[in-house]
Amino acid sequence: MPIRPILRYPHPGLKTVCAPVTVFDSSLTALADDLLVTMRAAPCVGITAAHIGVFSRVTVLELDRADDVRLYVNPEITWSSTEMMSHAEGSVSMPGATDEVTRPRAIRFRYRDGEGFTHEESAEDFLAICIQHEVDQLDGIFWLQRLSRLKRDRLVKKWEKAQD
């Protein structure tokens, strides 16, 4: 379970649409374990395989250490509410940069677990925001794309300056 290097913005891999997982074996378990230790070391509450340069539809969430770790393989959102919610978002690939993003407050989604079994669940509030954020990343949509051009340009400029 090594801590993996995280791709940093603006790495082109962060725009990659991830491929569905078709094999549910020990390599998937090892990837999920690596994602968990990398996420905890970052630290953050969610990470996708794309963040470490593995372009497979796998994400791990741990909203609170007291909660169970959530592994979502091939997650897809099947319904979104019309009620919206704003929340500060950022990325493990762009540490220290955050801004308000508006997304649907509630969703329904389908995913497979580490053994390949399909599940359908509903989520709302912070969990719904996190799942939408990670599914976006799996679809090659970096969270900055959810900001207005003006906000995005300001944030990127500020972040780049902080990297010097």
pLDDT on residue 67 = 79
pLDDT averaged per 10 residues in sequence order, the chain, 164 residues: 92 97 97 96 95 98 88 98 97 94 98 98 97 98 96 94 85
8 Å CB contact between 50 and 91: no
Single pTM value for the model = 0.96
**Domains and their CATH numbers in the chain:** 12-163 (3.90.45.10)
The string over 58-86, giving b where at least 16 C-beta atoms fall within 10 Å of a residue's C-beta and e elsewhere, is bbbbbeeeeeeebbbbbbebeebeeeebe
Residue type present at position 121: E
With vertex at residue 99, the alpha carbon angle to CA 94 and CA 100, rounded to the nearest 5 degrees, is 140
Catalytic positions, written as ranges: 134
pLDDT on residue 1 = 73
pLDDT on residue 91 = 95
